[in-house]
Structure 1
Amino acid sequence: MTNHTARMGSVKTLVAALAAAGLAGALLTGCADANSKTEPAAAPAGPPVSAAIVAEKPVAETQEFSGRLEAIEVVEIRPRVSGYITAVNFKPGAEVKKGEVLFVIDPRPYQAEADRAGAAANAARARADLARLELQRADKLLADKAIAQREFDEKSASQKELDASARAAQAQFESARLNLAYTRVTAPIDGRVSKAEITLGNLVDASAVLTSVVSLERIYASFDGDEETYLRVGTRAQRGQAAIVKVGLANEEGFPHEGKLEFVDNQLDARTGSVRMRATLLNADRALAPGLFARIQVGSGVAEKAVVINERAVGTDQSRKYVVVVGADSMAEYRPVTLGPVVDGMRVVRTGLKPGEKIVVNGLQRVRPGAPVTPQMVAMDADATAAAVKADAKLALNTAAKE
């Protein structure tokens, strides 16, 4: 009886414990449900990106073209008389001055001819002088009626003939002197001479090219501009308002050489839509040589307000250019844009953006249109790229460390 009573007490105690445990579980479950209803889960944060405010500032737009440098003056040196070359007085590639003797052609035959022509001219002049004296005497005799009119007329005609012969002989003498001078082949301009195409001892005539000389003080940069550039600067250049042109060589960064647009052709090529243009540059340091490839930047010189962004903010979707705009709710928005030229390291945007909008300048690869982002603001200028890259690298390192 005692054992039965003890077992019944143990059962009642177990049931009471289970009931208490169930009630406690229900209470805990209720509390958990209540907490879940009062504290909703936070939305996941978007990937970190660098963003900047779209700027607007006065910009003097420029266009870039490829072209070639050309000498303003190019002279082929040819002999004006024939003969054997007896001297070559320059080093190939040297700078020469106008009038400097480059070649000497054997002058002895021309000296002899000049001496002969000079003697003949002197003799003709002496005969003409004698005829003039005789005509003066005949004039006095005619006044005294000592000679007939016919004799006077003959002496007058003879004097005129001898005077003409004297002038012809003098002209032959001058021609001989010129030929003698042409045996010394001189530089017609200041510039740089090429190599001697015909060397010492060779017989040359007027058809031979001895060498060439190109000017150096100034130089042309010739290129084919497009229709937009023609409309922007062509009319101003034709009115004498020369646009600024900057030139860079293949081994140079930027455009260190500055000149002025001095020629725009009178028509565009309808097949290519291009127009010939030419700028003039000073070449005091002789760094520019004819024939070199040149990168040419043409500016209008007139600053107008334009929307500008960092080049790094521009993405490419096949043939379309786009940027990612960060909305007020930090959502990424795909935005196609039409781009202009690069000016002072900033890209001009013609359509698609307005000043004051916020765009992603670094981290485009982590952004999906319509998804949230976590923007970190940087400056919208040419130096923002470096700052954005550093910030991006720092964020990537922090993210990797947390993982």
Structure 2
Amino acid sequence: MTLRIVAPRPDIWTDNAYVRVHYAAIAPRVSGQVTSVHVQNNDTVKAGQVLVELDDRDYRAAVASAEATLIRDRAMVENAAASVVRQGPVMEQARAQQNIAEAQLSFAEADAKRYEYLATTGSGTIKTQQQADSTLRQSKAALEGAKAAVEAAQAQLKVLQTQEASARASVRASEAQLEQAKLNLSYTKILAPVDGMVAQRGVQVGNYVNSGTGLMAVVPLSEVYVEANYREVELKHVQAGQRARIHVDAYDIDLEGRVVGVPAATGATFATIQPDNATGNFTKIVQRLPVQIVIAPNQPLARLLRVGLSVETTIETRLADIVGQYRDVAQPAIAPSR
């Protein structure tokens, strides 16, 4: 009988692997009718390049309206500020009238006392005493009116200051509306967010599109990676940074890559319909984890990669002791239970 010794394999292989990428879905941020489309499927574009243009006449009119509103609101601020400045002299005038009224009242009081004394001694007439009393009452009323005018001028100052603050707030709101109108106008030119290749173009001149309508996709082929679905029992020695060999079936070529790391969850975890193992009929199934492998730089043949292509991957683990690395990590002290 021949004794066979099976040693663990340092390289793990799978053909359940595909080329993936995080592509950009192109959609308008405003509604409008398409006036021009500048790209076709498979065109290579640069970030910032115009892809689609929408009819911008409505948005230009909105900008003009917002500019006019802002000019009006700024004029209202200037008017309110001028009224606040003008109120200062008005208050000074009211205080001057109050001072005049106080002086007239002081004279009227002295005059009334003088004619009252003359009337009691028989040196003056009752008529002149009555006239002096009337003048005194008029002076008192005039002083009260002057004081009321001062208070009204002070209260009016607060009103004008509030109106100025309101007008300045309206200017800020108008500035924000103008900025939004300019942004909406800029959104009528739909730009490429990244460098890449155009795919799934579904827009034509004359179409009316709403905000969020999918127009096309821009695929950044320089950022493609490989998603290799390995069985969980094969990942004992896999860690980030390990070298990987990638065989592309479509072109029968080999590329080099590097493992990003073991993912946080299995493929079934994020499935639309997840398996429910909390049943009496349980069958243990080995799960697969999508290991991400990035393409090593400076490989001209990597430009041939297209999203969705099937590949075969081999990770060179060198039997790394992953479990031992975690055992060596110092554990926090646990307080004894009482």
Tell me if both proteins adopt one fold, taking TM over 0.5 as the criterion. yes
2:211 is equivalent to residue 206 of structure 1: yes
Determine the C-alpha separation between the residues in 2 that align with 1:231 and 1:195: 40
Task: State the partner residue of 1:394.
Answer: none
| SS of residue in 2 equivalent to 1:259 | strand
Determine the C-alpha separation between the residues in 1 that align with 2:179 and 2:201: 30
The structure with the largest strand share of the pair is 1
| SS of residue in 1 equivalent to 2:83 | helix
Task: State the partner residue of 1:61.
Answer: 10
Task: State the partner residue of 2:246.
Answer: 247
**Structure 1 residues 72-151: aligned runs within 5 Å:** 73-139=22-88, 142=91, 146=95, 148-151=153-156
| SS of residue in 2 equivalent to 1:222 | strand
Task: State the partner residue of 2:20.
Answer: 70
2:258 to 251, 257, 260: 260
Structure 1, residues 69-100: CA drift from partner, whole Å, max 9, x if none?
001x3111111111111111113211111111
- Asked if the contact 2:48/2:192 (under 8 Å) is kept, the reply is yes
- Asked if the contact 1:64/1:297 (under 8 Å) is kept, the reply is yes
| SS of residue in 1 equivalent to 2:190 | strand
CA displacement at 1:141 relative to structure 2: 5.1
- Asked if the contact 1:68/1:291 (under 8 Å) is kept, the reply is yes
Task: State the partner residue of 1:190.
Answer: 195
Which amino acid in the other structure matches residue 264 of structure 1? V
Structure 1, residues 188-247: CA drift from partner, whole Å, max 9, x if none?
1111111530101111111421111111112110021123431101xx32xxxx111121
Stretch deviating more after TM superposition (147-156 or 97-106): 147-156
**Structure 1 residues 1-400: aligned runs within 5 Å:** 61-66=10-15, 67-71=17-21, 73-139=22-88, 142=91, 146=95, 148-233=153-238, 236-237=239-240, 242-253=241-252, 256-268=254-266, 271-281=285-295, 282=297, 285-301=302-318
Determine the C-alpha separation between the residues in 2 that align with 1:97 and 1:120: 38
* Cα pair distance change 1:228/1:157, threshold 3 Å: same
CA displacement at 1:140 relative to structure 2: 6.0
CA displacement at 1:302 relative to structure 2: 5.8
* Cα pair distance change 1:228/1:139, threshold 3 Å: farther
- Asked if the contact 1:81/1:182 (under 8 Å) is kept, the reply is yes
* Cα pair distance change 1:68/1:204, threshold 3 Å: same
Which amino acid in the other structure matches residue 186 of structure 2? A
- Asked if the contact 2:237/2:319 (under 8 Å) is kept, the reply is no
Determine the C-alpha separation between the residues in 1 that align with 2:59 and 2:20: 38
Structure number with higher relative contact order (C-alpha < 8 Å, ≥ 6 residues apart): 2
Identity of aligned residues (%): 26
Determine the C-alpha separation between the residues in 1 that align with 2:191 and 2:316: 41
- Asked if the contact 1:244/1:301 (under 8 Å) is kept, the reply is no
Determine the C-alpha separation between the residues in 2 that align with 1:174 and 1:303: 57
- Asked if the contact 2:227/2:293 (under 8 Å) is kept, the reply is yes
- Asked if the contact 1:89/1:101 (under 8 Å) is kept, the reply is yes
Determine the C-alpha separation between the residues in 2 that align with 1:297 and 1:63: 5
- Asked if the contact 1:261/1:279 (under 8 Å) is kept, the reply is yes
Determine the C-alpha separation between the residues in 2 that align with 1:267 and 1:107: 47
Deviating runs (4+, > 4 A) in structure 1?
A: 139-147, 267-270, 282-285, 301-304
Determine the C-alpha separation between the residues in 2 that align with 1:218 and 1:298: 20
Determine the C-alpha separation between the residues in 1 that align with 2:31 and 2:248: 42
Task: State the partner residue of 2:109.
Answer: none
Determine the C-alpha separation between the residues in 2 that align with 1:251 and 1:225: 21
* Cα pair distance change 1:162/1:60, threshold 3 Å: same
In our comparison, the structure showing a higher alpha carbon Rg is: 1
Determine the C-alpha separation between the residues in 1 that align with 2:244 and 2:156: 79
CA displacement at 1:168 relative to structure 2: 1.2
Determine the C-alpha separation between the residues in 2 that align with 1:271 and 1:98: 45
Which amino acid in the other structure matches residue 175 of structure 1? Q
CA displacement at 1:178 relative to structure 2: 1.0
Task: State the partner residue of 2:143.
Answer: none
